[in-house]
Amino acid sequence: MEGMTNSAVALADTAAYAAAVEEASRAAAAYYATGESALDDDAYDRLARGIAAYEEAHPQEVLADSPTGKVAGGTAVGDVPHTVPMLSLDNVFSAEQFATWTASLERRIGRPVAAWSVEPKLDGLAVAARYREGRLERLITRGDGTAGEDVSHAIGTVVGLPAELAEPVTIELRGEILMTAEQFERANTARTAHGGAPFANARNGAAGTLRAKDRAYTVEMTFFAYGVVALPDSGETATALAELPHGETLTYAAGLGVHTAGETVVAPRTLATVEEVQARIEEIASLRASLSFGIDGIVIKADLAADRRDAGSGSRAPRWAIAYKLPAVEKVTRLLGVEWNVGRTGIIAPRAVLEPVEIDGSTVGYATLHNPADITRRDLRVGDHVMVYKAGDIIPRIEAPVAHLRTGEEQPIAFPESCPQCGSEIDTSEQRWRCVRGRDCRLVASVSYAAGRDQLDIEGLGATRVVQLVDAGLVKDFADLFALEREQLLALERMGETSTDNLLTAIDAARRQPLSRVFCALGVRGTGRSMSRRIARYFADMDRIRAADAEALQRVDGIGKEKAAAVVAELVELAPLIDKLVAAGLTMTEPGATPPPEPGEEGAEGADGTADGAAGGETGSAGGADAGPLDGMTVVVTGAMTGALEKLSRNQMNELIERAGGRSSSSVSKRTTLLVAGEKAGSKRAKAEDLGVRISGPEEFAALVAAFLPDAV
């Protein structure tokens, strides 16, 4: 796989080796005790590989404290013995290393492995859940593999680990306890509300929460089983479990009412060849960014019991399973400072300046900080060591400071007292601070946005030209563009007759853009391209949008109570601008859309009290549009389009979907009805196949929506 790393810390001599062993042992103990290791995953892996390489070259110098021969890197021994050792997994970091490992395993058992089970490696805390006659009796951490810590006090706070199984069996379920992204956010909110420091990441949160006793608040976690172990008094269950293939073991666990990885979008698969396994590894890795929980690799296991028995286990890891580690998506680095940037609507957004760090194949020097309240909640300080997280194309963000690495020299982050752009006062009444001048503070950005390709699409009106118009006093908002005269433009520097006429032609063409584009150009906070289309399709014309109250706006799919109130308030603020646009002759209706029934009209309300035509969920169409071939469908587009769709931008594709009665979405989920997959479709196609979503090629889709294609296509 591209981006994989096989680097190791180079250890030059015995002293360096001894120091590395001490650092790794200390980090492992902290990781498994509280989750608050000073090393991130990538740093620990490189250190461990360096130790292993040194020991291979100098076997006579191996220290007793070395983590290479110990389960979980040599964590503290717990007080509850495991009935069967709870081992760790060895790691590989590339396709070549994986191929070498599989060849070694097949040499060991003397035959090809009959089947492989492939599943995500969940980034949580390994536990054993003991059930006696179907009732959850005890919860134990991995510890050093031979004994673990009793954390039974956490029973009842873990989703996916029922107090009673569907059958009265005596078994031990082994798996990972973790926090989903949503659980992690809720945990930090509760923790900071009670005076605690926020967790650095979800793994830390799970580790700390699992061991916490007598807290004044409760934090929810999630369990996923990866194995089932028979206890000494399991009876016939033990015999049956011993012969089950691994995949069937997980099916058995799920049947008992326990969460397994089979309930996620990266469900385990049983595959026949190493080539199929490698392809599945690529698929799971591509889905990583879309998951609601962390994974740090993929686990590959010999599926059949006979292969596992013949392979056996070492003192620290089974020989029939391996962890294929993925590149790190989180690293520890230092927060050097905070920049305050002003957006086109006047929002003042903080951005973290970081000591550059390599994450998932790219150098990260900045991260989002959301808003001042977020900085305060996370108790961030300049000079802090911080955990930075990055997944896929998502903007890097800071999870939290690594509080135990503080030296006392860290400084509070200074919040601006006036607008960093224009020096005006700041409205701090909401979580997101805003310059009191709003859009006027960033007039150039606001006009440039309105003229952009996905809004009014005024060709030739780039930021440089907008600056000229603003500096010349010709434009005070984007409605003024439609009042520009030829002589005014010719008087500007570098504006000849041809460029002037072309610009005026493009501005005139913008008058014919549909309402959805005009509304998007307004830049109403909380509404982008997709939401603007839904609003325009639902209300059909600008007058109805402006007359709508918060209750009416909530009938549009995706608009909740708070957003509805904000949109109403902002439309009042934008009234003078909208009036100017109406006077300038811009289109204030949405083609193909029909207005929703007025209150009191027949059919105005359905049985559930909501307006007919309002999209009640992700699969609904967004309002008063006539039914089309995609009515009620949620459609995702991925890859390069060909044929009749080749010249359409992604935004134009989304507009086409909604004109045809569907709802466009950017991500594949269980609610997706159709995926339009063009050339080089990647992770979204793989996810759609996993979920059984219908997949269409560009030609088939173009035929389906032919009546709604733009005239120019």
CA-CA distance, 280 to 269, in Å (whole number)? 8
CA-CA distance, 424 to 348, in Å (whole number)? 12
**Torsion of Cα atoms, 580 then 585 then 589 then 595, to 10°:** 70
Cα separations in angstroms, 213 against 81, 221, 270: 21, 15, 40
CA-CA distance, 267 to 628, in Å (whole number)? 35
CA-CA distance, 230 to 32, in Å (whole number)? 25
CA-CA distance, 28 to 199, in Å (whole number)? 18
The phi-psi region of residue 600 (left if phi > 0; otherwise alpha if psi is between -120 and 50; otherwise beta) is left
| Residue 273 CB neighbour total at 10 angstroms | 13
| The amino acid at 299 | V
SS3 of residue 376 by DSSP: helix
Burial classification of residue 470, based on how many CB atoms lie within 10 Å of its CB (0-12 exposed, 13-18 middle, 19 or more buried): middle
CA-CA distance, 210 to 292, in Å (whole number)? 20
Query: Which has the closest alpha carbon to 484: 474, 494, 495?
Result: 474
Please name the residues in contact with 179: beta carbons below 8 A apart, sequence gap of 6 or more. 124, 187, 202, 203, 205, 206, 209, 221, 222, 293
Compute φ and ψ for 224, nearest 5 degrees: -130, 120
4-22: b (≥16 Cβ within 10 Å) or e: bbeebbebeeeeebeebbe
Burial classification of residue 711, based on how many CB atoms lie within 10 Å of its CB (0-12 exposed, 13-18 middle, 19 or more buried): exposed
Q: Contact 318/375 with Cβ under 8 angstroms?
A: no
Q: Which residues are registered as beta bridge partners of 347?
A: 434
Query: Do β-strands 385-389 and 348-359 pair in parallel, antiparallel, or remain unpaired?
Result: unpaired
* Strand blocks (E) in 179-281: 221-230, 269-271
State the Cα angle at 590 between 586 and 596, rounded to 5°.
130
HSE, CB side, 13 Å, CA atoms: give it for residue 282: 13
SS3 of residue 656 by DSSP: helix
Tell me, yes or no, if 70 is annotated catalytic.
Answer: no
SS3 for 619-630 is CCCCCCECCCCC
| The amino acid at 70 | K
Cα separations in angstroms, 374 against 36, 371, 608: 21, 5, 38
Kindly write down the DSSP assignment for every residue of 407-467, as one continuous string: -S--EEPPPPSS-TTT---EE-SSSS-EETTGGGGGHHHHHHHHTSTTTT--TT--HHHHH
Look up residue 183 and give its DSSP letter. H
Which residue do the tokens 């890891």 mark? Answer: 317
Residue of 121, 331, 390, 687 marked active site: 121
SS3 of residue 653 by DSSP: helix
State the Cα angle at 230 between 229 and 234, rounded to 5°.
155
Tokens coding 171: 């078994």
CA-CA distance, 510 to 92, in Å (whole number)? 56
- Please list the active-site residues: 121
